[in-house]
Amino acid sequence: MELGNIDLNLLVVFEAIYSGGSISGAGKQLGMSQPAVSNALTRLRELMDDPLFVRTRRGVDPTVKAHRLIGPVREALRLIEGQFKNGRKIDLASYKRLFRILMFDPLEPVMMPAVLRQIAIEGPGISIECVRATPDFAEALRAGTIDLACYAYPVNAPDIVAVPIMIADAVVIARRGHPGIGKTLDAATYRKLGHVTLVPALRAVTNVDQDIAAHGLTRRAVYMINKVWSVAPIVERTDLLGTLPRWVAQSLARNFDIEIHDMPVKVPEHAIHMLWHQKSTSDQGHEWLRETMLAAIREQIQLSDDVASPVVANLPHAG
């Protein structure tokens, strides 16, 4: 395949089909008719000697080769777009972009409503796809298959920018009026009662077990879950305990009949980080998203009923 044979518009169509998962969706996004999109895809298939997408009941699914191509294609399109927009501020009212972000599960309902409200006001053409967390998300940032990550730990790599955005100090939740807990939750009761915990693979990320083990304390996992937001309804209806970040527990306490107790032993605080690849630092749309997400965290500071804020005191600038 000769590079000179590639029409840049074909790559734009390829990215739109990959993002939307359908021919018709790509047409709507690009302002093209469905036959025009199909014609462009046919030309690209011939150039790549691969079907690139296969039809399913939901639309189209990318082939293995399409999965390999999407990262370099997005990076190339981003670089080209950056050159044309260099020195010119983006017009959010007409700006169209799909951001893919990896979100730490407990943070999503706390942060994203404010972000989505701001998108509706400032950038109605912006959409966000929240992807499943994986341990190798740094590679996804490098490849461009995700734009941003908010996660429970940073990445020690020179090309990945990591900014602490929120402190996670652990507390315990129990149903209101729990018969086994007095005015305060002591270590013996914490050890004796059963617990709702994350599954082992996710629990390892939180460091709670390691932190309490340093004080000779363990917890008895009776039920293990994949979603943090399942803890409160289970705790509310049983005598099990749940250990959560304080800001998550505060949010849940508004909707569930639970009480928040301090940990019976002193455990260290851990920061939640926002991470992105350094190539995205000067990307105006990316910077707007980062600042909007940080503003959502600041909003949580104002809404918090706690005198001791659960958020990093001086939030850094995400530029």
**Whole-number pLDDT of residue 319:** 54
For the beta carbon of residue 29, count every other beta carbon within 10 angstroms. Answer: 21
**Whole-number pLDDT of residue 302:** 61
- How far is the C-alpha of 22 from the C-alpha of 193, rounded, in Å? 50
- How far is the C-alpha of 144 from the C-alpha of 138, rounded, in Å? 10
3-state SS class at 18: helix
191 or 226, which is more confident?
191
Check: CB of residue 106 under 8 Å from CB of residue 245.
yes
Which residue type, as a one-letter code, is found at position 305? D
Check: CB of residue 107 under 8 Å from CB of residue 150.
yes
Nearest alpha carbon to residue 311 among 218, 129, 299? 299
- The angle subtended at Cα 40 by Cα 39 and Cα 41, nearest 5°, is 90
Q: Which residues of 42-73 are buried (b: 16+ CB within 10 A; e: fewer)?
A: ebbbeebeeebbeeeeeebebbeebeebbbeb
**pLDDT band at residue 180, thresholds of 50, 70 and 90?**
very high
Minimum mean pLDDT among 106-120, 258-272, 305-319: which range? 305-319
**pLDDT band at residue 251, thresholds of 50, 70 and 90?**
confident
- How far is the C-alpha of 25 from the C-alpha of 16, rounded, in Å? 8
Domains 97-166+270-303 and 170-262 share a fold: yes
> What's the average model confidence in pLDDT over 102-123?
89
Minimum mean pLDDT among 50-54, 132-136, 286-290: which range? 132-136
| pTM attached to this predicted model | 0.65
For the chain, what is the mean pLDDT?
85
- How far is the C-alpha of 283 from the C-alpha of 81, rounded, in Å? 10
Judged against a pLDDT cut of 80, whether residue 81 lies above it is answered with no
**Whole-number pLDDT of residue 88:** 62
Check: CB of residue 196 under 8 Å from CB of residue 222.
yes
Domain chopping of the chain, boundaries = 3-85, 97-166+270-303, 170-262
**pLDDT band at residue 83, thresholds of 50, 70 and 90?**
low
Check: CB of residue 264 under 8 Å from CB of residue 275.
no
72 or 172, which is more confident?
172
pLDDT one-digit tens code per residue, 217-247: 999 999 999 888 899 999 999 999 999 988 8
* CATH code linked to domain 3-85: 1.10.10.10
Give 170-262's CATH code, choosing from 3.30.1330.10, 3.40.190.10, 3.40.50.1820, 3.90.1570.30. Answer: 3.40.190.10
Judged against a pLDDT cut of 70, whether residue 87 lies above it is answered with no
- At the topology level of CATH, where does 97-166+270-303 sit? D-Maltodextrin-Binding Protein; domain 2 (3.40.190)
Which phi and psi angles does 235 have, rounded to 5°?
Answer: -60, -40
